[in-house]
Amino acid sequence: MNGLFSILTAVPLLLAAGLVAPVLFADPVVWLALGLRGLGAGRVGFAVLVYAVSQYKFVSRAMVNEIVLLDVLWVLGSIALIAFFGHLLTANGTLIVAAVAATVAFIAISQFVSAARIVKPIPGANVEMRDGKLRATVKRPCARPPRRSGM
């Protein structure tokens, strides 16, 4: 969901930055379109990162929480933009920035809650040098029937 939303917000910035700038900014200057394209490229990069983490077989809480941290920074940046530079935005621009930030916040909360459910994998093998010999041990959990009393 996070990667898809990032791509959906990146496409207009990359392909139509010149049209998006006047919708967002009260007095769009020429360089704003270039800045919006850069922002779009960053969103695509973020989407690639999210996709890579989602496909990783051994994804950890820490990996997911790093993405959550980036989302939180996006939300805080959006709040700062509206609070300190809101006069540069149009009314629609303020609404768009706030709506994107709210969506990113929802996604971040969802990911944080989901990350808490990730179970740390049990190491499968241990290789060590002991008394000049290389020793490898493999441990794995195995489901066995419960012990019966009296046996």
pLDDT value of residue 126: 79
∠ Cα 16 21 27 (to 5°): 155
Low-confidence residues of the chain: pLDDT under 70: 121-123, 140-151
Is 0.85 topped by the overall pTM?
no
Exposure b/e, 56-79, CB count within 10 A at least 16 = b: eeeeebebbbebbeebbebbeebe
pLDDT value of residue 127: 84
Render pLDDT for 94-128 as a digit per residue (tens, 0 to 9). Answer: 999 999 999 999 999 999 999 999 887 666 777 88
